[in-house]
A and B are shown apart, each in its own frame.
Chain A
């Protein structure tokens, strides 16, 4: 249960950070999806059951803090979580140093899913600038791992000490 609280708090804080400060530091469209990095981190480190619950909640909150149709980000984040969780169990991502590859693939596919859903929903037409947006956002989000991973690892270590977990 403590794990779930940690995931939810960290996830929701990342959303608040994204919707307020981050867009003023970096170009609005290309700002990294910190919440997705949190999802990937949970997929590697977290318990499956608490992970999936927190990721779903995070997706719903993301829907409400963005213009997304309700249900889009829960599906995307759950898919990302399941993919990362599966790869991690099969290959031990951290030991083999696959973090970067997993992050890049997950980000790219997740961002493609956003536009695919909007296109299928009749909300947008295909524009070449979308590909540029997806690629740049994937690069920036993946680079965000440099900051987000140590912060989350540190926060998790501290939290574990406080609650006395292993």
Chain B
């Protein structure tokens, strides 16, 4: 509790500063010096924690789970442990290779310059659906650039500093992506939702939507190039007032399990309307 005028002034000044920041930042994401300094401090810590976490997970997989097996198998324990360790390590490498191969394939298919980044953290508060990646403006990663994985789109860059960037995922309620249903070519607006993963809204009432239909980006929102996979329709219904159809969309990318992403570098928020991936598939 403030005990003097000085204390009260400090509280008021800081609260005012916070409010000024809050109201000014609702307009659009900023990536100034302050953001750069904080991100520069956090990047090595986040990377170290991620590194240690991976090692600890590997340790659990390769050693601690095997303690029970050791007891049961007596004299073969050492050999089994060594072999299992190798298998786990090889499997990890194989999975990583597969992931990176798919990433590379998509990277080559894209018409735009891209950069591959590693996911090094997730939203600290849990209220927003964001992830942190280890590439920033030094690599050309800037706000409003599209982020994708081979399975489907992930989101867009929300903030970036020189060394690190934050990705707002398509499941966040503040995100919206202009999409098409691939089969019928009907357009709709995909938004994130707290109740569902994503919701495709404002689709023509007469459109023949079916569960399982593939949803792709339309390229009309100026952020995502045309033809990138978004997800599949899960349940179709009429909107509240009956003017449009809406559908729950199951994102193709497993957003909670992503380890590497591709950032599509280009003019921020201003892609050309040239045919994108669809013509190449």
Contact = CB atoms under 8 A, between A and B. Distances in A.
A70 B125 contact: no
Contacts, number: 162
Contacts of B2: 48, 82
B172 interface: yes
Nearest to A32: B126
A88 B1 CA distance: 8
A70 B49 contact: no
Interface of B: 1-3, 7, 10-11, 14-15, 17-26, 30, 34-35, 38-39, 42, 45-46, 49-50, 53, 121-130, 132, 158-159, 166, 168, 172-174, 193-195, 256
A124 B173 contact: yes
Contacts of A127: 173, 193-195
Given A33-B125, A71-B24, A129 B1 contact: no
A158 interface: no
Interface string A24-35: 100011110101
* A-side interface mostly: helix
A75 B125 contact: no
A48 B2 CA distance: 7
Contacts of B132: 19, 65
Interface residues of A, number: 61
A125 interface: yes
Given A16-B49, A123-B173, A60 B125 contact: no
Contacts of B129: 67
Contacts of A121: 26
26 contacts: A16-B49, A18-B124, A20-B50, A20-B53, A28-B123, A30-B126, A31-B126, A33-B126, A35-B124, A66-B124, A67-B123, A67-B128, A67-B174, A68-B125, A69-B26, A71-B19, A71-B20, A71-B22, A71-B23, A74-B17, A74-B18, A74-B21, A78-B11, A78-B18, A86-B1, A123-B173
